[in-house]
Amino acid sequence: MSSASGDVPGQRDPASATPSASAKPPAGSHAPTGGASFDAWEQGAKPSGSDPIRLADFEALALAKMPPELGAYYSGAANDEVTLADNIAAFGRRRFLPRIGVGVEGRGTSVEVLGRRWPTPFMVAPMSLHRLADPEGEVAVARACAARNLVFSLSTVGSSTIEDVASTGAARWFQLYLLDDPGRNRELLARAEAAGYEAIILTMDAPILGRRERDIRTGFSLPSGVGYANIRRGAIKRGDTYGDDAFKPENTWDDLAWVVGATRLPVVVKGVLRADDAVHALDLGGAAVNVSNHGGRQLDQSIAAIDALPAVADAVAGRAPILLDSGIRRGTDVLIALALGARAVMLGRPVLWSLAWGGERGVGLAFDLLTAEVNLAFDLAGVRSPAEASRDLLVGG
């Protein structure tokens, strides 16, 4: 059931803080005025001349470092990977109609999700087995989140424990794949609650795994020392790379109702692509919906997540927050998602690539680059807050 899908207050909005005098942009760069400098170094992760300067740069650098079968596990998707490619291409089909005459002084990018305000409208999606990329795995990513007040989402099939991630102090959500044993599901929920997690993400789009042909070709298997840290020993048979035997063989609406009743935490319903499913998820007690096609790793030729978003947003009609993952690579992608109805986005594969490239520092750099791009996109589009991101900003949306 392993997945690399996705592919978090103060008087002043932290995302619009002016960088210190010691943080210098490279020579020849242009910084807009109004205290909203396009500066990837605002948060302290200053890249050197050889460092990546955009999220897409991390992938090739990471693949050059990783064993081929591990890189293929992260980068691959289902069947012919049509949906994987379309997730990114669908953002490229949109065009902006930017507003002019809008002052950027006081611009902020903070958003409220599930009762808390977060400094920028992106979070980390739940993904499996971070320790394939770096020995510290999820803990390193969570530390980078903690330093920036971003939400980190830990997967049931993560390679670090619920408690180890909690020790970082990051704001954290726990993603649940339902196990075949209800008692173990209750145990996972109880552990997450006891460890200070603030929400449960229930993944509904993976009753069985999609066909991951890159994994078949490379003969992917778990390397020694890396495993599913939150699943009891004995629940997964030796040689079962994906842990299929441990998981419930179907996901139904009754399961969602059970999870809502089994935890005191808000439940985010992940894997929604249809408007009617979004409404039903909320009717059954879901606190938010996550528009997602699992990063293209389940049903190939599914609609791109960003293409599914407008109809879901229309149907939800403000009843609950909408999150979106699958295909986010630029700050402009974040703004497009907000304009089409998302409250925030969940960042997937770029987190894994940046972790593989540079550990915690690499992840921090990726977050800072994306934060800077989001700030710039808001300023250039004439958007002073996420509430001002609306469909009239887009052509082809």
Amino acid at 243: G
Minimum mean pLDDT range among 106-115, 151-160, 197-206, 229-238: 229-238
Nearest Cα to 267, choosing from 203, 345, 344? 203
Pairing mode of beta strands 95-96, 394-395: antiparallel
125 has pLDDT over 60: yes
Q: What is the pLDDT of residue 221?
A: 87
Query: Per the structure block, which two tokens stand in for 148?
Result: 């920036």
Minimum mean pLDDT range among 29-38, 148-157, 198-207: 29-38
Query: Per the structure block, which two tokens stand in for 276?
Result: 């009617």
Q: How far apart are CA 9 and CA 1, in angstroms?
A: 37
What average pLDDT does this structure show over 53-82? 93
144 has pLDDT over 70: yes
Q: How far apart are CA 127 and CA 382, in angstroms?
A: 34
3-class secondary-structure state, position 236: coil
Q: What is the pLDDT of residue 240?
A: 58
- Asked whether 194 and 267 are in contact (CB, 8 A), the reply is no
pLDDT classification of 231: cutoffs 50, 70, 90: confident
Which domains does the chain carry? Answer: 53-395 (3.20.20.70)
pLDDT classification of 376: cutoffs 50, 70, 90: very high
Tell how far CA 202 is from the center of its chain: 14
Q: How far apart are CA 217 and CA 194, in angstroms?
A: 41
Taking the CB of residue 224, how many other CB atoms lie within 10 A of it? 6
Q: How far apart are CA 168 and CA 145, in angstroms?
A: 9
What would you report as the CA-atom Rg of the chain, rounded to the nearest whole angstrom?
20
- Asked whether 177 and 206 are in contact (CB, 8 A), the reply is yes
For 42, 74, 83, 227, 255, the CA distances from 71, given in Å and listed in that order, are: 31, 5, 19, 17, 33
Which residues are designated catalytic?
294
Across the chain, where does the E strand assignment appear? 95-96, 111-113, 116-118, 122-124, 151-155, 171-176, 200-203, 267-272, 288-291, 322-324, 344-347, 394-395
Per residue, the 3-state secondary structure of 244-268, as one string, reads HHHECCCCCHHHHHHHHHHCCCCEE
Q: How far apart are CA 309 and CA 81, in angstroms?
A: 20
- 268-311 pLDDT, tens digit per residue, is 999 999 999 999 999 999 999 999 999 989 899 999 999 999 99
What average pLDDT does this structure show over 179-187? 92
DSSP category for residue 26: P
Q: What is the pLDDT of residue 250?
A: 84
Query: Per the structure block, which two tokens stand in for 207?
Result: 């009753």
- 251-274 pLDDT, tens digit per residue, is 899 999 999 999 999 999 999 999
**Hunting for tokens 């293409």 — which residue is that?**
307
Indicate whether this model's pTM tops 0.75. Answer: yes
Minimum mean pLDDT range among 182-186, 314-318, 358-362: 182-186
- 327-358 pLDDT, tens digit per residue, is 999 999 999 999 999 999 999 999 999 999 99
Q: Who has greater pLDDT, 31 or 188?
A: 188
129 has pLDDT over 90: yes
Query: Kind and range of the H or E element at 69?
Result: helix 68-75
DSSP category for residue 19: P
